[in-house]
Amino acid sequence: MNIFKQLVPTKHGVRAAKKSCKAASLCLSRSSHDSSIEVNSEEQEVVIALGSNVGDRLSNFDNALDRMKKSGIKITRHGCLYETEPAYVTDQPHFLNSAVRGITKLDPHKLLGVLKEIERDMGRTGGIRYGPRPIDLDILFYGNQRVNTDNLVVPHERIWERPFVMGPLIDLLGLDTDNDTIKSWHLLSGCSGGIFEAWEKLGGETVIGKDGMKRVLPIGNKFWEWSSKTSVMGILNVTPDSFSDGGKFLTVDSAVDQVRSMVSDGADIIDIGAQSTRPMACKLSPEQELDRLIPVLEAVKNMPEMDGKLISVDTFYSQVALEAIENGAHLINDVSGGLLDSNMCNVVAGLKVPYVAMHMRGDPSTMQNLENLAYNDVCVDVANELYTRIRDAELAGIPAWRMILDPGIGFSKNTGHNLDILMGLPIIRSEIGRKSMAMAHAPLLIGPSRKRFLGEICSKPVANERDAATVASVATGVLGGANIVRVHNVGDNRDAVKLCDAMLQRKRKTSLM
């Protein structure tokens, strides 16, 4: 995706910002001499970069963010998470890097003091410049101000030469400029096309996945480079009423046998669901759902075959999510995106695990009502509504680097809508990117497996006769940018995914020649 080309036509692009940012320009010009700008009464929007390469790097990030929040910095946006080779001093461990946007009333030097105190409390000492450190916190931007004193320069003087800073910074922006402060940040880049043009000059998206810089998602005990190949999520329904395989895997032994078969066929993730979300399904209580789930989860997590594999739990209850993670699951897959349990996002934020947020209108009993099937443009509307859900999740404390997005094929959609989504995944990413590049960069999951729309198109009224159509829909989705496919028949879809991945890799290599 060429970010700069997409930036220029937007209604509130950087070129428009030049015209509408006279006040910011005045503020910038008056601070060209060495001076400190003290702001005590008004909130200022700031950008803070994070880096760590000593100890538990992700825990260091979580700890630093918690301390920042307690020190008067309200975190409003998170970048993606990057694992990068060290720069300048190369004989040291790899870094994790990201950045956050926040709001604070601290003046620039008080903010610097707070960040330095956090660094010291977390064990950072003087050491070697650019050397190893448990945490590194740098102020990239402070409102629309320039600061130039002996101990603080804002904007940070080396932003524009560092891909490991620019990547996370881009994530904090949208293609549509949302306020005058953001416009001023674009002006501060010194490029006519703003920060996006500065990023393109460093190589833009072409530097991700090479040159020692990977976009990763923390899951289980590893950092998952999810864009390197498509992952297959195998479906395990421990329910009597699921539309495709209800009643087949109710016993622990039958569930374990099915997991063993899916792992043998190439599943990367096992998604366990103990409550049916088919249209008009009976709704269980959290306690009933847990009674079905926990015995199977306990058995599956202890299977030798699951070494290196991941376990997802499909639930819209925060209580179930909490107990599932405490009993060995690695991520939560919520078909409601937090709509059916107001405490879900807070609980997942506290658990610090990945969160799959899916688009759905209503609930399983109402999602196919006529009012829930009314769209102006299904891809645009789904993107906007899904963004609202993930934005709420982010404000609850789930950072962008733990988000996985699902457009909800088959949920509040008719056959035409499902086809539009399968063919329109790039549109959904692009629309989300207008508001948040971090969310647009998140892994994308699709779940068309054996859905009714495939039966309608192919005249297959029986769900388990729709595997060929599922393979075709999965292939379309992967070629359109899906990173995870959720399926019943793992073996056939694993082969389809491998072929699509090979085609995409070939395309990337050819484009670089």
Please list the active-site residues.
451, 486
Handedness of CA 199, 203, 205, 207 (dihedral sign): negative
In this structure, are residues 118 and 135 in contact, taking their beta carbons and an 8 Å threshold?
yes
What are the residues whose beta carbons fall under 8 Å from the beta carbon of 115, sequence distance 6 or more?
A: 48, 68, 137, 138, 139
- Residue linked to tokens 């993930």: 390
Q: How far apart are the first and last CA of the chain?
A: 17
What are the residues whose beta carbons fall under 8 Å from the beta carbon of 187, sequence distance 6 or more?
A: 14, 17, 18, 21, 24, 25, 28, 194
Q: Give residue 423's identity as a one-letter amino acid code.
A: M
User: C-alpha distances in angstroms, 469 versus 157, 246, 465?
Assistant: 54, 20, 9
| Residue 232, beta-bridge partner list | 485
Euclidean distance between CA atoms 240 and 284, whole angstroms? 12
In this structure, are residues 374 and 348 in contact, taking their beta carbons and an 8 Å threshold?
no
- Residue linked to tokens 């032994």: 253
User: C-alpha distances in angstroms, 10 versus 180, 222, 262?
Assistant: 15, 38, 45
Euclidean distance between CA atoms 191 and 41, whole angstroms? 32
